[in-house]
Structure 1
Amino acid sequence: MDKIKNLRWSILLLLLTLNFGCDQITKKVARTEIGEFEHISIIKNHFTLLKVENSGAFLSLGDEMPYLVRLIILTGFPLLLLGYGTYYLFARRNLAPGMQIALCFLIGGGIGNLYDRVMYGSVTDFMHMDFYIFQTGVFNFADISIMIGIGILFVLSIKGKVVKQVEHHSDEA
């Protein structure tokens, strides 16, 4: 039983570390290799690199808030949520594997952005996509991790509703 618990914890720590590590490595490269106001085209103008230091939240929301309010909302609150999420991930033994993976992506990405905010006072964003009808803000790998985690939770939610509907209909038959 302890071997299974240790294996589970090791896999979860590996997933969290990979999410956080990939984010931090790419941000370090962006900070050192992309100059201020530099615009690097990767796939024509559809995928570009440009470094932006974001002191707000998603798409710079809250950037204009007073420092103390920003500190509480953008550092304190996420710290509490990430702490609880990490506790929940490791304390709940019966979580479905998909839920565990989703939480690793959410927590790993969240820790990556929170680390930047605490260490640098802002989050380094450096990727942008523009496909005419679809355009993103400037983002980073932590944001990708968070979106993957949300996507997994969304799929699990839909899958759960479909399974419940099938079970409900088979009970009626």
Structure 2
Amino acid sequence: MIIFMIDYLSKILIMGTMIANGSAPIRVLPFMNFYYVHNTGAAFSFLSTEGGWQQGLFALIAVIACGFLSYKMRQASIIQTAHNIGCAFIIGGALGNLFDRVQYGVVVDFLDFHYKNHHFAIFNLADVAIFCGVLLYLFSSRKKVS
């Protein structure tokens, strides 16, 4: 719930202060801007030009992933900290982007990392949480070599 709320509040702040695809980027760091865009696709704008059917697919994937990870968390021991935190980060991020799809019909992205004129994909805090959660989940799932 904390991840979801942080993501939600960051998007409300961006939507209240910038115009999607219209505001000039706000320089935050030499390598990072805030630049508000609407993303109809998934990671790296995957399937963003498909006309709308993909929104339902991505919403379904988010619901299934949240259900599966909730089940995995219930099955895990309380001492499996990295596993549980990883699942919680993924769920929080997935719910953040799912909320956007349901509420706005798009995902609100605004983190623009760049090097000189080379820009990486624009993303949001939910995406960061999902990425970090996947790393933690994979790290916690590796088998120990005897």
Q: TM-score range by the shorter chain?
A: 0.7 to 0.9
Relative to 1, partners in 2 of residues 1:122 and 1:49: Cα closer, same or farther, differing over 3 Å?
same
Alignment of 1:58-137 (within 5 A): 58-68=43-53, 70-89=54-73, 91-94=74-77, 96-131=80-115, 135-137=119-121
Show the counterpart of 1:18.
Answer: 2
Unaligned runs of 5+ in 2: none
**2:134 partner letter:** I
CA distance in 2, matches of 1:151, 1:131: 24
* Counterpart among 36, 53, 56 of residue 51 in structure 1: 36
Q: Do structure 1's residue 140 and structure 2's residue 121 form an aligned pair?
A: no
Q: Do structure 1's residue 29 and structure 2's residue 26 form an aligned pair?
A: no
The offset of 1:131, in angstroms, is: 2.9
CA distance in 1, matches of 2:48, 2:58: 10
CA distance in 2, matches of 1:93, 1:83: 14
Q: Is this contact kept in 1: 2:114–2:120, CA < 8 A?
A: yes
Over residues 66-117 of structure 1, what are the superposed CA-to-partner deviations in whole Å (9 max), with x where a residue is unaligned? 433x14321122212212222332x314261110010000111011001100
CA distance in 1, matches of 2:112, 2:55: 26
C-alpha RMSD of matched pairs (Å): 2.1
TM-score, normalisation: structure 2: 0.87
- Show structure 1 runs of 4+ deviating over 2 A: 153-157
| Structure with the largest fraction of helix | 1
TM-score, normalisation: structure 1: 0.74
The offset of 1:135, in angstroms, is: 4.7
